[in-house]
Amino acid sequence: MTSTANASASGGGRAAQPDHLGHVIFITAAAAMGGFLFGYDSSVINGAVEAIRDRFDVGSGTLAQVIAAALIGCALGAATAGRIADRIGRIRCMQIAAVLFTASAIGSALPFALWDLAVWRVVGGFAIGMASVIGPAYIAEVSPPAYRGRLASFQQAAIVIGIAISQLVNWGILNLADGDQRGEIGGLEAWQWMLGVMVVPAVLYGLLSFAIPESPRFLVSVGRMEKAKTVLREVEGSGIDADARVREIDRAIHSEQKSTFKDLLGGRFGFLPIVWIGIGLSVFQQLVGINVIFYYSSSLWQSVGIDPSASFLYSFETSVVNIIGTVIAMVFVDRIGRKPLALIGSVGMAISLALAAWAFSYKSGAGGDIALPQAQGVVALIAANCFVLFFALSWGVVVWVLLGEMFPGRIRAAALGVAAAAQWIANWVITVSFPTLSDWNLSGAYMIYTFFALLSIPFILKWVPETKGKALEEMG
């Protein structure tokens, strides 16, 4: 392992300077389009919630199940993507996801019943789950170690840009429909256009997948050595010893077993410790309640006195904060490391969530018709934006970076799939529970999220490894 790690460091570390960094960035951005679709799909439903409730005449509980239906598909897609990618390649996996995204967008825009909408949400979720595994894995495999943290950050950057764009699109469609989510535009209701527009980025994702190379690791695994050397020179620089790099990857592959679920088992608690750490990272990322802000943001802003027609703009403002935080993380993730960023974020999120919990303890009203006093409303808005900022500059990016690089090669695909599946399950729990928690005690809901933000601090300190500057072959 030592000689392999040293070879990797020399072949892919400081000496690995791509001849055309712009081309490497293009490859990374194309792969991260799956993240864009993830963010777009996660947020676009926010603009259609009330219209779906009215169109199908459903209560909060049923509505939450429909919104969260995609997350069940996400968990299934994430759990199976690693094995699919190992068999047919990362690029083919992206193309399958693009087809499913496209079908989901069309089906979701033209549902004939509530269960039909839920089915198409599951189909789209399966594609998101696949993309959430393949994107970070592919980016990690094509990135020189010196740039890997920043390039891996593209996944989260694409997610937050997808969220922002979906909110802008929703706002534009809502204006065309005179502020009515059920207003008619060209024979379809506004909410149907909101869901259907995702066809455009889905098709773009599919087209871009034809313009980027296959992962060198997969090419070596199927015996396409010359093509692997070409791709390595393309992404790591013509000055590298491509023959040595291919031999190194080949040795690593042949010293590994095929990544299966059974390989993840071991230790006193079922999974290997490193797998539990990956699951913990994924679960904590969701249990702090970040997706509540994006799934239900318009409703939250209305609760602090924002007019419904303007709440979409306030939701977009939150997305801008999200993007700013993500850029900060991209700048510092390779400079100060993964663990320090995560710790900063946990402390900041805990304080912000506690302030939000205090503010919402002054709410009046119930259900979707609640209000806050002016002072508490201001605190709630500031706290929500600070929460998003601290999440974006830390856990939003760091978790994707760590999941793409922390696992030993012999279990990477399977472990990443399990961790991503756990993330989607936790996301589903938060999404379906929030309406009920909100009706019960909105302040209490935010206290629960505060508790998990605080709990993440000792988790980081004790168990999360620092992967800054290490080659993938050194993970073990």
Angstrom CA distances, 89 to 84, 85, 216, 227, stand at 7, 5, 10, 14
List the one residue out of 432, 429, 424, 426 whose CA is nearest residue 129: 424
What is the per-residue pLDDT for 5?
33
Q: From 180, 240, 185, select the one nearest 216 (Cα to Cα).
A: 240
Residue matched to tokens 């938060």: 430
Residues 6+ apart with CB under 8 A from 375: none
- Given a contact cutoff of 8 angstroms between Cβ atoms, the answer to whether 181 and 190 are in contact is yes
Q: State pTM to two decimals.
A: 0.74
Q: Which positions ≥6 away from 59 have C-beta within 8 Å?
A: none
The stretches of 333-411 forming alpha helices (DSSP H) are 338-360, 374-392, 395-405
How confident is the model at residue 58, as a pLDDT?
A: 80
Q: What does DSSP assign to residue 267?
A: S
CA distances, 223 to each of 138, 140, 143, 229, 249 (Å): 18, 20, 21, 11, 11
Q: Alpha-carbon distance 399 to 316, whole Å?
A: 24
Of 62, 180, 51, 38, give the one whose Cα is nearest residue 109.
51
Rounded-to-integer distance, Cα 46 and Cα 298, Å = 7
Residue that is written with structure tokens 């455009």 in the block: 200
pLDDT digits (tens), the chain, 476 positions = 333 333 333 343 344 566 677 888 899 999 999 889 888 887 788 778 778 888 888 877 787 788 778 878 888 888 888 778 888 989 999 999 999 999 999 999 999 888 899 999 999 999 988 988 888 888 888 887 777 777 877 887 888 888 888 888 888 898 888 878 888 898 899 999 999 999 999 999 999 999 999 988 889 888 889 998 888 888 887 778 888 888 888 887 776 655 555 666 666 667 888 888 999 999 999 999 887 776 556 656 666 666 655 666 666 777 888 889 988 988 888 888 889 999 999 999 999 999 988 988 887 766 556 677 778 878 888 888 899 999 999 998 888 788 877 887 677 777 877 888 888 888 888 877 877 777 778 788 889 999 999 999 999 999 888 776 565 555 55
Identify whether the C-beta of residue 474 lies closer than 8 Å to the C-beta of residue 299.
no
> Phi first, then psi: what are they for 53, rounded to 5°?
-55, -45
Specify whether the CB–CB gap between 433 and 61 falls below 8 A: no
How many residues does the structure list for the chain? 476
Bridge partners of 364, per DSSP, are 371
Q: What pLDDT does residue 394 have?
A: 93
Give the Cα separation of 376 and 355 in Å (integer): 9
- Confirm if 333 and 150 have CB atoms less than 8 A apart: yes
Residue 3 has a pLDDT of: 31
Tell me how far apart the alpha carbons of residues 476 and 473 are, in angstroms, rounded to a whole number: 8
Q: Partners of 370 in the beta sheet?
A: 365
Tell me if 426 sits within 8 A of 283, measured CB to CB.
Answer: yes
Instruction: Quote the pLDDT of residue 84.
Output: 87
